[in-house]
Amino acid sequence: MHRITVIGGGFAGLTAAITAAEVGAEVTVHEAHHTLGGRARTAEGPYRTNEGPHALYNGGPHWTWLKQRDLIGPLAPLPPLEAARLRLRHHGVLRRTPPFPMLKLLRRTARQAPVDADFLTWATGVAGEEGARAAANYSAVALFHHDPGSLSAAFVQERLRRATKLPPEAHYPRGGWATLIDRMAARAWNLGVRIETLSRVDTLPTDTPVVVATSLDAARRLLQDSSLTWPSGRTALVDLAVRTRRGDAFAVSDLDTPGWLERFTAQDHGLAPAGEQLIQGQIPLAPGESKADGTARAEQLLDLGFPGWRERVTWRRESVAGGRTGAVDPPGTSWRDRPAVNRGDGVYLAGDQVAAPGVLSEVSFNSALTAVSLALGRRELDLKHA
C-alpha cells in the first residue's frame, strides 16, 4: 500500500487526500488550523461569510469530480428577478447593460487573445479603449487584481468569458463553502484518511511522498525555496449586513475601476438572520493603496447600489487579502510558467498559484490531481478516480 502525506486541509489538500485514498493509498493530512477549509472556510455564527466572494463554477473539471462523488450538495439558485438586478457602474452612474463596445469582447466568436500581449492593448484593437477598459475591470470579479488590463490577454480573456457566460457558470453551495468542505472531509474520513488538525508541520517527513497544499507563501517558507513566488492580487474585503430593503441590487460591478459587491442572501437567505441581507465585496488594491482606500471605494459602490445602507447596517467587517487570491499571469506567461507541481525528492505542490490550468478553485483542484498522480507513480488517474 502506498503512503502519502498531505500538508494543508483546504480544498486542494482534501482533493489530494480523497484522490489518493480512492486508489488505495494510506493518507495523513496535517492542518495547522483547528478547522479544515483554508480560504474556503465559512464563518460560524449568524453571518455565514466566506473569505471574500465565493462561487463554484460548473464549467470546470472539479464540478464533474465533485458531482460524481455527490459532494456538491444542495445549491442555492439565484432567482431570475434577483439576477436582473445586476448593476454596472460606468462613468460614475449605475446602468443595467454593459457599454456597447464591451460587447464585442464578450462574443463567443471573438478571436483567441494572445499570451504575449497585455489585455488592454489587445482588447483596444478589438473594441476601442473604452470597451477594453470596461471589460478588463469587469474581469476583476474572477481576478482580484488592481490592473487586469496589464495581464496576459489570453489569461484575462478566459476569465472574462467564464464570468459572463450565459447561463451563468457560478453556483453557490447552500450554507456557504464550509458545507462543501464538510462533505469532502466526511468522504476522506470514510475512505480512512487520517486528518490531524492543529498540526503544524515545520519539517517535511522523509518516509512518504508529500503534497504541500498550502499557500505559495507558506510553501516557500516550509520548503525554504525562494523560487516559489508568483504574482497575485491584493484585495480589500468588505463584509456587511444590512436590514432588508426592496430594490437593492443583487451585485454591483465597477467598470470604472476594478471592484465587485454581491448580496449573497439574494440566493441563500440562511446566510444572515431573518430580515437582514449579507453583502460581500472585493476591491483590488494597487501597490501603496491601503485598506481604507479600498473601503472608501466599496462605500461608493454601496451608495449607488444600496441606497440608505449606512442607516441599515447591523454588522460590518473589513480585511485585506494579500497573496491569497490566486495566480495572475503577466504578458508572455501562462499557467505552465508558474512554480511546478513536482519539486523533486518526493515533494509536490498543490494550490491556486502553481502550474495547473483553470479558473479560481479549478487551479487548486487540477494541481492536486497532478500532485497525487506523480506522488503515486501514475502517469494519469482514470476517470473513475480523477
- Domain membership of residue 263 (yes or no) is yes
Place of cell 449607488: 304
Same domain, yes or no: 296 and 369: no
Whether the predicted pLDDT of 384 surpasses 80:
no
**How far apart, in whole angstroms, are the C-alpha atoms of residue 328 and residue 198?**
31
CA angle 45, 82, 90 (to 5 degrees): 105
Of 309, 327, 345, the domain-final residue: 327
Q: Tens of pLDDT along 186-235?
A: 999 999 999 999 999 999 999 999 999 999 999 999 999 999 999 999 99
Q: Are 34 and 150 in contact (CB under 8 A)?
A: no
Same domain, yes or no: 280 and 212: no
For 5-37, letters b (16+ CB in 10 Å) and e give bbbbbbbbbbbbbbbbbbbebebbbbbbeebbb
Residue 189 main-chain phi, psi, to 5 deg: -60, -45
Same domain, yes or no: 337 and 319: no
Q: Which residue has the higher pLDDT, 39 or 227?
A: 227
- Domain membership of residue 153 (yes or no) is no
CA angle 2, 36, 54 (to 5 degrees): 115
pLDDT of 110 reads: 75
Q: pTM of whole model > 0.85?
A: yes
Same domain, yes or no: 70 and 208: yes
Same domain, yes or no: 40 and 182: yes
- Domain membership of residue 267 (yes or no) is yes
**How far apart, in whole angstroms, are the C-alpha atoms of residue 112 and residue 274?**
46
Whether the predicted pLDDT of 383 surpasses 70:
no
Three-state SS annotation for the chain: CCEEEEECCEHHHHHHHHHHHHCCCEEEEECCCCCCEHHHCECCCCCCCECCCCCEECCCHHHHHHHHCCCCCCECCCCHHHHCCEEEEECCEEECCCCHHHHCCCCCCCCCCCCCCEHHHHHHHHHHHHHHHHHHHHHHHHCCCCCHHHCEHHHHHHHHHHHHCCCCCEECECCCHHHHHHHHHHHHHHCCCEEECCCCCCCCCCCCCEEECCCHHHHHHHHCCCCCCCCEEEEEEEEEEEECCCCCCCEEEECCCCCEEEEHHHCCHHHCCCCEEEEEEEEECCCCCCHHHHHHHHHHHHHHHCCCHHHHEEEEEEEEEEEEEEECCCCCCCHHHCCCCEEECCEEECCCCCCCCCCCHHHHHHHHHHHHHHHCCCCCCCCCCC
Task: Name the CA dihedral angle for 312, 43, 354, 142, rounded to a multiple of 10 degrees.
Answer: -20
Same domain, yes or no: 212 and 337: yes
267: domain CATH number is 3.90.660.50
Q: Tens of pLDDT along 178-188?
A: 999 999 999 99
181: domain CATH number is 3.50.50.60
Q: Which residue has the higher pLDDT, 110 or 68?
A: 68
Structural domain tally of the chain? 2
pLDDT band at 1 (very low <50, low <70, confident <90, very high): low
Identity of the residue numbered 243: R
Q: Tens of pLDDT along 106-144?
A: 987 778 999 999 999 999 999 999 999 999 999 999 999
- Domain membership of residue 124 (yes or no) is no
Same domain, yes or no: 43 and 180: yes
- Domain membership of residue 84 (yes or no) is no
The parent domain of residue 206 ranges over 3-74+174-230+332-375
Same domain, yes or no: 178 and 67: yes
**How far apart, in whole angstroms, are the C-alpha atoms of residue 326 and residue 303?**
29
Same domain, yes or no: 323 and 183: no
Same domain, yes or no: 242 and 297: yes
pLDDT band at 386 (very low <50, low <70, confident <90, very high): very low
Same domain, yes or no: 194 and 271: no
- Domain membership of residue 117 (yes or no) is no
- Domain membership of residue 127 (yes or no) is no
Same domain, yes or no: 316 and 184: no
- Domain membership of residue 181 (yes or no) is yes
